[in-house]
Structure 1
Amino acid sequence: MSEFNEFDQQGSVPNKDTGSIISHSFEMYKGVFLYGIVAMVIYMIAGFAIQFVTGFNSASMMEEMKDAGGDYSSFSYWNVPGFSLYLSLSGLLGVLVAPLYVGLIYIVNKYNTKSQIDFADLFIGYKQNFVNILIYSIISGIISSVAMTLCFFPFIFVYPFLLLGYPILLFENASATEALGKSFNIAKENYGTFLGATVVGGLISIAGVVLCGIGIIATAPFMMIVMYSVYCAFLGKPRQIEFKK
């Protein structure tokens, strides 16, 4: 397993309330948003590649749904060419890009501790605790999918329990189950703040779609910054981790 050298640095820590956490997240994101955009561009390019390989065309499907005139009773997603394969590969992509989220959190902590940031830092999740990051991504993805199939609102109420998973995996080198358990226990004791941070952070993350579709590239990564700020608020500012090459 990779070895890390930890050292203390100065850095800001938000209070344990939603407003302070979101404000802290904004301050952090202003310094690292370009790295968040890079992560999103990588994800989108991979997504377009999957559409090309599978032959699935999301634009055509939207046109078919529009032509249905609001009557979707006879519309079947599974009959759309390439949809089932696209769905499978997209799920796999979601798991494989999870280390990028961890890398962004790592970069945020470097920014907060005023450490030098390297572009390679974005990919540290593929070196540090990689297997557990993938396992956690699968577990959290299943939990989120189940919540989404029930209704959108259960997803909102479930997601706060997953909020600390990725920071714990990175800063504490925990196993996937340890990260899930610790995140759940802390969220359970502070659920109102976690829910507030999730709702506000989520709204900001999807604001790019509402304001200007392509703007999602800039706003979507904000939720990763919220995860870091929540970690700082409830577990303290983590020591900066220096990877030994």
Structure 2
Amino acid sequence: MSEFNEFDQQGSVPNRETGSIISHAFEMYKGVFGYGVVAMIIYMLGGYIIQLVTGFNSSSMMEDVDFSGDYNYWATPGLPLYMTFSGLFGLLLSPLYVGLIYIVNKYNTKNPIEFSDLFIGYRQNFVNILLYSFLSGLIYAVAAMLCFLPLIFVYPLLLIGYPILLFENASATDALTKSFNIAKENYGTFLLTGILGMLISVAGVVLCGVGIILTAPFMMIVMYSTYCAFLGKPRQIMFKN
């Protein structure tokens, strides 16, 4: 059975305000961005392979889109199959995001980082990470179907779910509940932090398409910094086989 030892180390903690959290996230990301890039490359390669397998071509679809509202997206060749495989791949990739959060904490607490740390989510609390990803994805999908605006307001409520899963070894439902309750009591800060973090994460698309590889993982760091601000610096977790 997996066993974990935890011990206190030095490390910085931001104040409970958006500016401090984002600044803290920037400082953390400067030290671990290489691992974030690796995670994004894995994600993009997987997406490319899925497109090849399903025959779906996103570029071609954008060229054929009829903005009059009569265009049937689901009639696009390969799209239904692509969405299915892409959803499953995204679900299976969620432990990788947890691994990035783990690496950030090791960096913050001045502990040596190993490349295998990126994959700790596949060894620790794996089932709950997948279940949480599925449930949170379902919540986001429902919010998005109502209108895009509700998604913006729902997203901050689950902002610290992944760190709770990792550092507290929580169940998926406990992580959802705890993240919701803490965010609800500090909603203004969580909302602004979530919006700014997301804008920075997607900035790579605006500045340069491939730049998304560099900026997208920043949101995971924002989750970690927000967790530190409201729940304190987590004790470093060391994995043992």
Matched, 1:180 2:176: yes
Of 62, 74, 78, the residue aligned with 1:78 is 74
- Residue 154 in 1 paired to residue 132 in 2? no
2:31 paired with 1:31: yes
Does residue 200 of structure 2 align to residue 204 of structure 1?
yes
Tell me, in whole angstroms, the C-alpha distance in 2 between the residues paired with 1:20 and 1:117.
Answer: 25
Q: Residue 150 of structure 1: CA displacement?
A: 1.5
TM superposition shift of 1:153: 1.3
2:5 partner SS:
strand
Tell me the CA shift for residue 78 of structure 1.
1.0
Residue pairs, 1:60-209, within 5 angstroms: 60-65=60-65, 68=66, 70-71=67-68, 73-209=69-205
Shift of 1:151: 1.6
- The aligned residue for residue 19 of structure 2 is 19
Q: Which runs of 4+ in 1 moved over 6 A?
A: none
Counterpart amino acid of residue 106 in structure 1: Y
Where does residue 44 of structure 1 map in the other structure?
44
In 2, Cα distance between equivalents of 1:155 and 1:236: 27
Question: How many residues matched?
Answer: 241
When normalised by structure 1's length, the TM-score is 0.97
Secondary structure of the equivalent of 2:81? helix
- 1:213 is aligned to 209
Superposed displacement of residue 93, structure 1: 1.0
Residue ranges of structure 2 left out of the alignment (5+ in a row): none
User: Considering only aligned residues, what root-mean-square deviation do their CA atoms show, in Å?
Assistant: 0.7
TM-score by length of 2: 0.99
Counterpart of 1:224 in structure 2 is 220
SS in 2 for 1:241: strand
The alpha carbon displacement at 1:74 in A equals 2.2
Cα-to-partner distance string for 1:173-224 (whole Å, 9 max, x where unaligned) = 0000000000000001000010011010000000000010110011001000
Secondary structure of the corresponding residue to residue 56 of structure 1: coil
Letter of the 1:52 counterpart: L
Query: How far is the alpha carbon of 1:80 from its aligned partner?
Result: 0.7
1:56 is matched with 56
The Cα shift of 1:134 comes to 0.1
Percent identity for Structure 1 against Structure 2 = 74
Give deviations 1:122-181, integer Å, cap 9, x for gaps. 000000000000000000000011111122211110001111100000000000000000
Q: Note the residue ranges of structure 1 that are not aligned, 5 or more in a row.
A: none
Question: 1: CA distance between counterparts of 2:100 and 2:35?
Answer: 7
Instruction: Give the SS at the match of 1:97.
Output: helix
Higher mean C-alpha displacement, 145-154 vs 100-109:
145-154
Letter of the aligned partner of 1:205 in structure 2? S
Q: C-alpha distance in 1, partners of 2:205/2:90?
A: 19
Structure 1 SS opposite 2:77? coil
Deviations, residues 94-130 of structure 1 (Å, cap 9, x unaligned):
1110000000000000000000000000000000000
